[in-house]
Structure 1
């Protein structure tokens, strides 16, 4: 039975056994750590299975796997950067104001959710949103700062707010 004729579980099984070692090697070259490479390879196949992605149509399975793995790798780097920035900010707090370990975890999880939400926006939309919400700039000031029209600022802000509202309803 070819991979095209195989049931979905068999497709993933065949894909795993055919390409897992190669994917781990590819990730190890990029991450420099066999343990992280194994973790991300595992996460790649979990993502493949959880999305119920069929594999029968794959002409280039390694390209498909590296696309998934690369996205996971970028997500991991971004999460670590957010966590590192958060830990740096905590170091500057007086000990009496430092949150408890439980509060730290909850805050970090919230920051990661916000980061993921913002990452889902195009860079210019994200900039408009952050300039408005974090720096308190008016739409006219944002337009001047980003050298875009006032109408573009309004459109980008509407899109950003819609994106935020949609993510809250999920």
Structure 2
């Protein structure tokens, strides 16, 4: 006797995966990338601990898929910038390919962690670390106190340290 799967995610997948793949294809014009991101969308739902009570499956899936697409495009931009930075380096100073991959994946994790922070925290940290701005310059740009700038930088730095520890 055949059993009927009552898992809401399984049912959602069976009913909507073709529609979602086609929706993603219209966004990307690449069937392989659309298939990958369709699977990523369902994986995101699978690993979330939220109960699925979906009244309108297509708008719900489109919303989740937009987030997956946004992450995809951010990763593509980051990869492009990373590869451009590598091209500026002398070939003899480049790390081996395995190390380059580890560095890129770490960069992706740091970007994800910083993106989860409040925009002022992220800006203060990046202006401090990448642009070399002083605390006073950052405070002036953000319209906050120097003490708050220091707290923001510490918060973002701690976030980055947690990423580094998790991947070491």
Partner of 1:65: 61
Give the gaps of 5 or more residues in structure 2.
none
5 Å-filtered alignment, 1:61-100, equals 61-100=57-96
Q: C-alpha deviations, 1:1-33, integer Å up to 9, x for none?
A: xxxxxx985312211122111111111111111
TM-score when scaled to structure 1? Answer: 0.82
The residue that corresponds to 1:145 in the other structure is: 141
CA gap 1:76/1:144 in 2 versus in 1, 3 angstroms: same
Whole-angstrom CA distance in 1 between matches of 2:84 and 2:30: 25
* Contact kept? 1:125, 1:160, Cα under 8 Å: yes
Per the TM alignment, residue 138 of structure 1 is displaced from its structure 2 partner at its CA by 2.4
The answer to whether the Cα contact below 8 Å between 2:114 and 2:159 also exists between their aligned partners in 1 is no
2:9 alignment counterpart: 12
Counterpart Cα distance in 2 of 1:28 and 1:106? 30
Q: Distance in 1 between matches of 2:165 and 2:5?
A: 32
Say if 2:110 and 2:160, in contact at 8 Å, map to a contact too.
Answer: no
Q: Give the TM-score, by structure 2 length.
A: 0.83
Provide runs of 4+ in structure 1 moved above 4 Å: 165-170
Shift of 1:162: 4.7
Structure 1, unmatched stretches of 5+, are: 1-6
Aligned length: 163
Give the SS at the match of 1:145. Answer: helix
Q: Which residue of 1 aligns with 2:100?
A: 104
Selected match of 1:48 from 45, 50, 64: 45
**Cα RMSD between the aligned structures?**
2.3
Distance 1:169 1:89, change over 3 A: closer
